[in-house]
Amino acid sequence: MTALEDAPVPLSAAGNPIGFGRMHRKEDVRFLRGEGNYVDDVQLPGMLYGAILRSPYAHARINGIDTSAAEALPGVKAVITGAVLETLGLAWMPTLSYDTQAVLATDKVRFQGQEVAFVVAESKYIARDALELIDVDYEPLPAVADAKKALDADAPVIRDDKEGKTDNHIYDWEAGNKEETDAAFANAEVVVTEDILYPRVHPAPMETCGSVAHMDPTTGKLKLWTTTQAPHAHRTVYALVAGLPEQNIQVISPDIGGGFGNKVPIYPGYVCSIVGSIVTGKPVKWMEDRAENLMSTGFARDYHMKVSIASTREGKIQAVKVDVLADHGAFNGVAQPTKYPAGFFHIFTGSYDYPAAYCNVTAVYTNKAPGGVAYACSFRITEAVYAIERIVDCLAAELKMDSAELRLKNLLRPEQFPYTTPTGWEYDSGDYEKTMRVAMDMAGYDQLRAEQAEKRARGEYMGIGISFFTEGVGAGPRKHMDILGLGMADGCDLRVHPTGKAQVRLSVQSQGQGHETTFAQIVAHELGIPPEDIEVIHGDTDNTPFGLGTYGSRSTPVSGAAAALVARKVRDKARLIAAAALECAPDDLEWELGRWYVKGDPERGRTIQEIAMDAHGALELPEGVEGHLDAQVVYNPPNLTYPYGCYICVVDVDPGTGQVKVRRFIAVDDCGPRINPMIVEGQVHGGLADGIGMALMELIAFDDDGNNLGGSFMDYLLPTAMECPDWELGETVTPSPHHPIGAKGVGESATVGSPAAVVNAVIDAISPFGVRHADMPLTPANVWRAIQGSPVRT
Ligand code: MCN
Ligand code: CUM
């Protein structure tokens, strides 16, 4: 175990830590100068532009499409409809959940904003103008936008494209032990039940989705620059769907302006740009605008949860059960490991010690855009954490017990790890109470409660909300986890050049997380090569090893391990080469950062740079050692890593207006050793802002006809610095026992953990009005309604 050592990390000549530590992000040099290279920056000679005609209806039959006027517009090169795609066998494509999704609608449209036709033109303005000239004969059908009505006998059947489908049911799935859980509830002294909605929200990355496709008619090679978090998986899916030879497909994911899970699925626009290029023989660029992104690409959540908790009168939790109605929209397009149709939701047992738990999830189609797994959710651990952390607060209210005391009484203890949860997860390591105490100390918890009591006496409404979360991140292992049959293991290649500079090639793809920096730091930590001498190459299937990509905070747990192991492989090879150069046995050598030296004679040694030159030079290499200094690994993780944390939020609520002010936010995260603490803090800052956004303002609402009411940033509110306090961050460090450097993922922790803290704080503030629960978003209007005893609007 090379956990974060106490010894100071040596600095390179450029002042960077040769290993773990704070260092400015290498990629910021280009980002801060506006010199990033995003998909929309790609310009190719003769490039054409695509635009998508979208459905104004949530549900309508298509009786005909007249494209003649659009085709006649000067500058228009092609108008592609579902009928055209049908002749190519491409009207429908598989989703990442083994469902099918229309690329361009043929029979019906099933959500507002669905793709109906694709225009290719000389400019993006001509393409958009041409959309206006397409005449679609729609026959509106009744729509079902409310998941609770989707299984009604008279609900319109959305997926009548599927043979024999007579309802909107997608699947039922369960986890845990129903009998034991029911028995625990039957015998419990206290039972609390609450209907808890995690509303539909949208990841809304800064860069919207898009692609540039170039099918070279002479070579037959397809190059696709695209906004994807999983270039290799996408390439394989294109090969399978379009029947294109996989070696002729190059997926390039250049700089990405945020992904947040929005860029895991394959969207019809990507496929249309490919078809557009095949049809015209030219490169075709398609970039959606903000409204298209908000209305049609992968949303997040939409989980209707009935959560029950059983406990003793003293507050010892005995069982939890959750009934979920999952709204998947019109196509089941969620991206998650095949075995887990509800993602990792069954981690809802949380951070507490109790024997019985059960959940069942029923998923339905509605006339809404597809999605569900996105927005830093760790495969629906957001929903799980929100469910358990809200119901624990409801239990505390019922027991009239302090919510911190209730949590401390039930947290898993350090000696219980590795701990198997009642739903089957094996948590790798943790010291939960320590983390909670650090957070409470930082917050001054007892003083805060005293202040709250004083304020209440004066008629002021201050609230304190706690959330203690455990995540499981780093999917595989491959035998348990695959997406469309592709096992979740990741490759990593490392080449050390003759001069001792290196290139490391990853299968994961950064969308802003700073991989070009942190993966260089991992290699630096193992080999002693300064991070500025290590180039990180990612996001190009022709130049990187196969792997499943970046989501579920899996890059550090999976590819981070691969990078450490590939560097160790190079180090082992370097030892053999150093032994040859020093004319000693490999066993006589000892490693110190950046150098093998002879035991007992530290002056005699070879630096990694010298060894690199030897490996490419004239030195006679020992039997069995190939020349050059490089290595490859494929890392198949033995388990997930389980980061966790304790968040405390302090709010002031104005009961007259319902306005919530987040006054303080304390976040103590434990993600094991931090490769770059500055980047980790940045990840946490972003996720905390997400939490404030979701808890207080973000919502994709629909009317009864399925009209999307939040297609712009005028309606879909995002948090800004104005709504965010100065974050107060703390840390504890509990390494993962199975990860080569002990690191756990952190990229989604704060988004997963923070909404419950904010909501718990608001409900705590307004609890004197008899409020026990109110659904997000807690906008001023909704807080006011809750205080008045009226239902909130979601
Ligand atoms: N890190 C570290 N020490 C650790 C853990 C992580 O220094 N112990 C660093 C990593 O090296 C990496 C970053 O923190 O640079 C995030 O690492 P990790 O937790 O492995 O997550 P991923 O790199 O796999 O990123 C995915 C995650 C997801 S799934 C979403 S969604 C999300 C998130 O990252 N999307 C983001 N954070 C985002 N941040 C930005 N800027 N943009 C997005 O789209
Ligand atoms: Cu669930 S969003 Mo991230 O896993 O890309």
Q: Are residues 329 and 229 in the same domain?
A: no
Q: Are residues 512 and 561 in the same domain?
A: yes
Distance between Cα 673 and ligand 1 center (Å): 14
Q: Which atom of ligand 2 is nearest to the CA of 343?
A: 1
Ligand nearest to the CA of 26: 1
Burial 601-626 (b: 16+ CB within 10 A, else e): eeeebbbbbbbbbbbeeeeebeeeee
DSSP code per residue over 155-169:
SPPTTTTSTT--S-E
CA atoms within 13 A on the CB side of 180: 14
Distance between Cα 555 and ligand 1 center (Å): 7
Distance between Cα 511 and ligand 1 center (Å): 9
Measured CA distances, 425 to 284, 323, 417, 421, 470 (Å): 45, 19, 12, 5, 11
pLDDT tens-digit map of 50-69:
999 999 999 999 999 999 99
Pocket-testing residue among 373, 380, 510, ligand 2, by greatest number of atoms within 8 A of Cβ: 373
Question: How far is Cα 637 from Cα 8, in angstroms, rounded to an integer?
Answer: 30
> Does residue 744 sit in helix, strand or coil?
coil
Question: How far is Cα 753 from Cα 213, in angstroms, rounded to an integer?
Answer: 38
Q: Are residues 449 and 318 in the same domain?
A: yes
Does residue 519 lie in a domain region?
A: yes
Q: Are residues 650 and 668 in the same domain?
A: yes
Q: Is the ipTM above a cut-off of 0.85?
A: yes
- Predicted local confidence at residue 6, as pLDDT: 55
Please tell me what DSSP assigns to residue 767: G
Distance between Cα 262 and ligand 2 center (Å): 8
579, 601, 635 — which closes off a domain? 635
* CA-nearest residue, atom 21 of ligand 1: 553
- Predicted local confidence at residue 108, as pLDDT: 98
Which pairing describes strands 486-487 and 482-483: parallel, antiparallel, or unpaired? antiparallel
Measured CA distances, 10 to 531, 594, 636, 742 (Å): 12, 11, 31, 20
Does residue 83 lie in a domain region?
A: yes
- Predicted local confidence at residue 392, as pLDDT: 98
Measured CA distances, 352 to 223, 394, 411, 420, 718 (Å): 49, 15, 4, 11, 32
| Number of Cβ atoms within 10 Å of the Cβ of 432 | 28
Q: Using an 8 Å Cβ cutoff, are 50 and 283 in contact?
A: no
Q: What is the CATH classification number for the domain harbouring 337?
A: 3.30.365.10
Distance between Cα 555 and ligand 2 center (Å): 11
Does residue 338 lie in a domain region?
A: yes
597, 612, 635 — which closes off a domain? 635
Does residue 450 lie in a domain region?
A: yes
How confident is the prediction for the chain on average, in pLDDT?
97
Ligand nearest to the CA of 298: 2
Pocket-testing residue among 229, 488, 556, ligand 1, by greatest number of atoms within 8 A of Cβ: 556
How many angstroms separate the first and last alpha carbons of the chain? Answer: 48
- Predicted local confidence at residue 242, as pLDDT: 84
Question: Is residue 528 scored above 50 in pLDDT?
Answer: yes
635, 663, 680 — which closes off a domain? 635
Question: Is residue 241 scored above 90 in pLDDT?
Answer: no
Q: What is the CATH classification number for the domain harbouring 267?
A: 3.90.1170.50
Pocket-testing residue among 473, 551, 690, 746, ligand 2, by greatest number of atoms within 8 A of Cβ: 551
> Does residue 683 sit in helix, strand or coil?
helix
- Predicted local confidence at residue 1, as pLDDT: 35
Distance between Cα 512 and ligand 1 center (Å): 8
Distance between Cα 404 and ligand 2 center (Å): 29
Question: How far is Cα 612 from Cα 497, in angstroms, rounded to an integer?
Answer: 7
Residue ranges making up the domain that contains 46: 39-141+208-255+263-296
Contacts of 6 (CB under 8 A, 6+ apart): none
Q: Which atom of ligand 1 is nearest to the CA of 258?
A: 44
* CA-nearest residue, atom 26 of ligand 1: 553
> Does residue 408 sit in helix, strand or coil?
helix
Does residue 159 lie in a domain region?
A: no
Burial (CB count <10 Å: 0-12, 13-18, 19+), residue 71 = middle
In sequence order, which ranges of 206-284 are alpha helices (DSSP H)? Answer: 231-242, 268-280
Q: Using an 8 Å Cβ cutoff, are 314 and 349 in contact?
A: no
- Predicted local confidence at residue 2, as pLDDT: 40
pLDDT tens-digit map of 563-590:
999 999 999 999 999 999 999 999 999 9
Residue 10: asked if its preceding bond is cis (omega within 30°), the reply is no
Which residue in 740, 696, 674 sits closest to 199, CA to CA?
696
Q: Are residues 418 and 321 in the same domain?
A: yes
pLDDT tens-digit map of 472-496:
999 999 999 999 999 999 999 999 9
Which pairing describes strands 644-654 and 461-470: parallel, antiparallel, or unpaired? antiparallel
Distance between Cα 576 and ligand 2 center (Å): 42
Residue with tokens 């995260």: 669
| Residue 116 phi, psi dihedral angles, 5° rounding | -115, -40
pLDDT tens-digit map of 644-695:
999 999 999 999 999 999 999 999 999 999 999 999 999 999 999 999 999 9
- The letter for the amino acid at 194 is E
Q: Using an 8 Å Cβ cutoff, are 406 and 395 in contact?
A: yes
Question: How far is Cα 769 from Cα 766, in angstroms, rounded to an integer?
Answer: 6
In sequence order, which ranges of 559-676 are alpha helices (DSSP H)? Answer: 561-582, 608-616
Measured CA distances, 435 to 3, 468, 733 (Å): 18, 9, 9
Measured CA distances, 685 to 661, 674, 694, 725 (Å): 17, 15, 14, 10
Q: Which atom of ligand 1 is nearest to the CA of 743?
A: 8
Ligand nearest to the CA of 264: 2
Question: How far is Cα 247 from Cα 506, in angstroms, rounded to an integer?
Answer: 18
Burial 688-726 (b: 16+ CB within 10 A, else e): bbbbbbbbbbbbbbbeeebbbebbeeeebbebeeebbbe
| C-beta pairs of 30-37 under 8 Å, 24+ apart in sequence | 30/255, 31/255, 36/255, 36/257, 37/254, 37/255
Question: How far is Cα 125 from Cα 81, in angstroms, rounded to an integer?
Answer: 19
CA–CA–CA angle 676, 695, 332 (5° rounding): 85
Question: Is residue 3 scored above 80 in pLDDT?
Answer: no
Rg (CA), the chain: 27
Q: Who lines ligand 1 at CB under 6 A? A: 205, 258-261, 376, 511-515, 518, 550-556, 671-676, 679-680, 683, 686, 743-748
Residues in the chain: 794
Question: Is residue 37 scored above 50 in pLDDT?
Answer: yes
Question: How far is Cα 508 from Cα 488, in angstroms, rounded to an integer?
Answer: 11
pLDDT tens-digit map of 211-238:
999 999 999 999 999 999 999 999 999 9
Q: How far is CA 444 from the centre of its chain?
A: 32
Q: Which atom of ligand 2 is nearest to the CA of 511?
A: 5
Please tell me what DSSP assigns to residue 587: G
- The letter for the amino acid at 161 is D
Contacts of 660 (CB under 8 A, 6+ apart): 651, 652, 653, 696, 762, 765, 778, 780, 783
Question: Is residue 323 scored above 90 in pLDDT?
Answer: yes
> Does residue 68 sit in helix, strand or coil?
helix
Distance between Cα 478 and ligand 2 center (Å): 18
User: How many distinct structural domains can be found in the chain?
Assistant: 3
- Predicted local confidence at residue 710, as pLDDT: 83
Question: How far is Cα 79 from Cα 84, in angstroms, rounded to an integer?
Answer: 9
Q: Are residues 590 and 653 in the same domain?
A: no
> Does residue 545 sit in helix, strand or coil?
coil
Question: How far is Cα 174 from Cα 424, in angstroms, rounded to an integer?
Answer: 12
Q: Which atom of ligand 2 is nearest to the CA of 377?
A: 1
Question: How far is Cα 293 from Cα 710, in angstroms, rounded to an integer?
Answer: 11
Q: Using an 8 Å Cβ cutoff, are 372 and 302 in contact?
A: yes
What band does 791 get if pLDDT is binned at 50, 70 and 90? confident
- Predicted local confidence at residue 7, as pLDDT: 64
Does residue 604 lie in a domain region?
A: yes
Does residue 1 lie in a domain region?
A: no
Taking residues 100-105, what's their average pLDDT?
98
Does residue 2 lie in a domain region?
A: no
Q: Are residues 337 and 464 in the same domain?
A: yes
Q: Using an 8 Å Cβ cutoff, are 643 and 524 in contact?
A: no
- Predicted local confidence at residue 4, as pLDDT: 46
Q: Are residues 615 and 662 in the same domain?
A: no
Q: Are residues 309 and 400 in the same domain?
A: yes
Q: Are residues 239 and 98 in the same domain?
A: yes
Taking residues 305-332, what's their average pLDDT?
98
Question: How far is Cα 18 from Cα 636, in angstroms, rounded to an integer?
Answer: 27
Q: Are residues 567 and 462 in the same domain?
A: no
Q: Who lines ligand 2 at CB under 6 A? A: 229, 259-261, 264, 373-378, 551-552, 748
- Predicted local confidence at residue 211, as pLDDT: 98
Please tell me what DSSP assigns to residue 558: I
Distance between Cα 765 and ligand 2 center (Å): 31
- Predicted local confidence at residue 456, as pLDDT: 97
pLDDT tens-digit map of 148-207:
999 999 999 999 999 999 999 999 999 999 999 999 999 999 999 999 999 999 999 999
Q: Are residues 218 and 129 in the same domain?
A: yes
Residue with tokens 């050390």: 496
What is the H or E stretch that residue 505 is in? strand 502-506
